[in-house]
Amino acid sequence: MSKISPFWVSAAVVLAAGLAFTEIVENQYYFTAIYLILQGLIMAVAWNILGGFTGYVNFGSAAFFAVGAYTAIALDKALGLPLPLLIVAAAAICGLIGLGVGYLTLRLKGVYFAIATLAMAIVLETFITNWSYVGGARGAYILTPDKHLWFDSYSEMLFMLMLVLAVVSVAISRKLNFSRLGRGLAAIRDDEVAAECAGVPTLRLKLVSTTIMGAMMGVAGAPYPFFVTYVDPLSAFNLFVAVNAIAMPMIGGTAHWIGPVIGALLVGSMQEIVKVNISSELNILIVGVMLVLFISLAPQGIVGLVQKHFLKRKA
């Protein structure tokens, strides 16, 4: 019998702890706060699959997130599907958009690709702004259902759902990182021509990674309408979503799957703590200073810092 890896043990522990948390903790605030952290975590993990592993920077993360949210809104309105199905649908549609973005990598490298994703985000935003079925620029209201399975409240259910999604995302990212596929992605990041000539099917691998990234971001966005109950394009295509998706992996470290996880937990919880404890414009200032400090002190991310420390000790 093969040994169960520590990763899966910790994943199970996290999920069990999450469940216990919903049972024990009454204070709903924690569920909403952690929900946002987990949302950031999934976005960061997703961004890192393309940005960190494959070396293609996506500036349009917010668009995937928003399309995920709007897929959920549209299908909720049209068919009244249950949330899990909405999430699957959002994953499918954003995965498809990711696939499309993947084809951009055929010709566009480096910053050209990054700006293309930014352009794509603006084009998508304009479409949704003008799509009146989902409210257009006026925004859409989502009335959350009263049912919340066996949980005490709807936000507890959303929290648990997000926790499961986050664990799955991290598992996928980790699997990618250490597989043959992941090494192929790293080769692409280092030198695409050399990778091709070494037999790496670069296009297919890039398509796989953009699709996974897109789908994952869509998954992060799908429950969002039920979380805020009112979504308009301005808040869905949100600069902060895009900033966090990039900053969290950078701060955590991009080369290893744990990087975005650490970055998201650190930055996300700092943001939540600062938001409610320093109730003024100072909170954005602190977020700004934090970004600058973290990234200046550990330019390779926290993982990079730790690795360097270990290397020094070994030497």
Partner 1 sequence: AQQPIKIGFSMALTGGLAGAGKGALIAMEIWRDDVNKKGGLLGRPVQLVYYDDATQPANVPGIYTKLLEVDKVDLVVSAYGTNLIAPAMPIIMRKKLVFPSLFGLGVNEEFNYDRYFQIMPSGPDPKVDWTRGFFALAMEQNPKPRTVAIVAADAEFALNAAAGARKNAQNAGLKIVYDKTYPPATTDYTPIVRAIQATNPDIVFVGSYPPDSVGMVKAANEVGLKTKLFGGGMVGLQFAAIQKNLGPMLNGIVNYDFWVPEPTLKFSGVEEFLAKYREAAKGKGVDPYGHYLPPYAYAYLQVLGQAVEATKSLDHGKLAEHMHKTEYDTVVGKVKFGKNGEWARSRVLQVQFRDVQPDNLEQFAGPGKRIVLYPKEWKSGDIVYPYKQ
Partner 2 sequence: MVTADLLANAVVAGLLLGGFYAAVAIGLAIIFGQLDIVNIAHPAFIIAGAYTAYILNSRFGIDPVLIGVLAAPLFFLAGAGIYRVYYGAFERTGQESLSGLAFFFGLMFIIEVVLILVYGVDYRLVQAGYIGESWRIGFVDLPFRMLVPFVVAVALTAGIYLYLARTFTGRAIQAVAQDRLALQLMGVNPIRVKQWAFGLGIATAAIAGALLIIIGPVEPSVGRQYIGRAFAIVVLGGMGSISGMFIAALILGIVESLVNTFMGPSWAPAVAFGVLLLTLALRPSGLFGR
Partner 3 sequence: MSDVILRVENLSKRFGGFTALQNVALHLTAGERLGLIGPNGSGKTTLINCISGALYNDDGTIVFEGADITRLPPHQRARLGIARSFQIPKPFRSMSVLENLRIPLEYAAWSRAEHRRITDEAMHVLETIGLKELAGKSSGDLTQVDMRKLELARALAAKPKVLVSDEAMAGLSGAEVDEIIEILLGLNRTGVAVIMIEHIMRAVMKFSERVAVLDAGQKIADGDPQSVIANPDVQRAYLGE
Stretch that binds partner 2, among 146-154, 226-234, 270-278, 292-300 (CB under 8 A): 292-300
Site membership for partner 2, residue 108 (CB under 8 A): yes
Site membership for partner 1, residue 149 (CB under 8 A): no
Site membership for partner 3, residue 200 (CB under 8 A): yes
The answer to whether 94 and 261 have CB atoms below 8 angstroms apart is no
Site for partner 1 in 72-111 (CB under 8 A): none
What string of DSSP letters covers the chain? -PPPPHHHHHHHHHHHHHHHHHHH---HHHHHHHHHHHHHHHHHHHHHIIIIII----S-HHHHHHHHHHHHHHHHHHH---HHHHHHHHHHHHHHHHHHHHHHTTT--HHHHHHHHHHHHHHHHHHHHT-GGGTGGG-EE-PPPS-BTBSSSHHHHHHHHHHHHHHHHHHHHHHHHHSHHHHHHHHHHH-HHHHHHTT--HHHHHHHHHHHHHHHHHHHHTTHHHHHSEE-HHHHS-HHHHHHHHHHHHHH-SSSTHHHHHHHHHHHHHHHHHHHHS-STHHHHHHHHHHHHHHHH-TTHHHHHHHHHHHHHH-
Site membership for partner 3, residue 305 (CB under 8 A): no
The set of residues, in sequence order, having a beta carbon less than 8 Å from that of 252 and lying 6+ positions away, is 44, 258, 259, 260, 261, 262, 263, 264, 266, 301, 302, 303
Q: Which of 9, 17, 198, 278 binds partner 3 (CB under 8 A)?
A: 198
Site for partner 3 in 163-182 (CB under 8 A): 180
112 binds, among partner 3, partner 1, partner 2, none (CB under 5 to 8 A by kind): partner 2
Site membership for partner 2, residue 12 (CB under 8 A): no
296 binds, among partner 3, partner 2, partner 1, none (CB under 5 to 8 A by kind): partner 2
Site membership for partner 1, residue 36 (CB under 8 A): yes
- The alpha carbon of residue 218 and the mean position of all alpha carbons in its chain are separated, in whole angstroms, by 9
Q: Which of 150, 199, 296, 313 binds partner 2 (CB under 8 A)?
A: 296
Site membership for partner 1, residue 229 (CB under 8 A): yes
Site membership for partner 2, residue 315 (CB under 8 A): no
Number of residues that bind partner 3 (CB under 8 A): 20
Number of residues that bind partner 2 (CB under 8 A): 43
Site for partner 3 in 233-292 (CB under 8 A): 255
Site membership for partner 2, residue 288 (CB under 8 A): yes
Stretch that binds partner 2, among 7-15, 81-89, 126-134, 153-161 (CB under 8 A): 126-134
| Least distance in angstroms from the C-beta of 23 to partner 2 | 37
295 binds, among partner 1, partner 3, partner 2, none (CB under 5 to 8 A by kind): partner 2
How many other C-beta atoms can be found within 10 angstroms of the C-beta atom of residue 305? 14
Give me the long-range contacts of 1-7 (CB less than 8 A, separation at least 24): 7/171, 7/174
Site membership for partner 1, residue 153 (CB under 8 A): yes
Binding site residues, partner 2, CB under 8 A: 57, 104, 107-109, 111-112, 115-116, 118-120, 122-123, 125-127, 129-130, 239, 243, 246-247, 250-251, 281-282, 284-285, 287-297, 299-301
Binding site residues, partner 1, CB under 8 A: 26-29, 31-33, 36, 126, 129-130, 136-139, 141, 143-144, 153-155, 224, 227-235, 238, 240, 272, 275-276, 279-281, 283-284
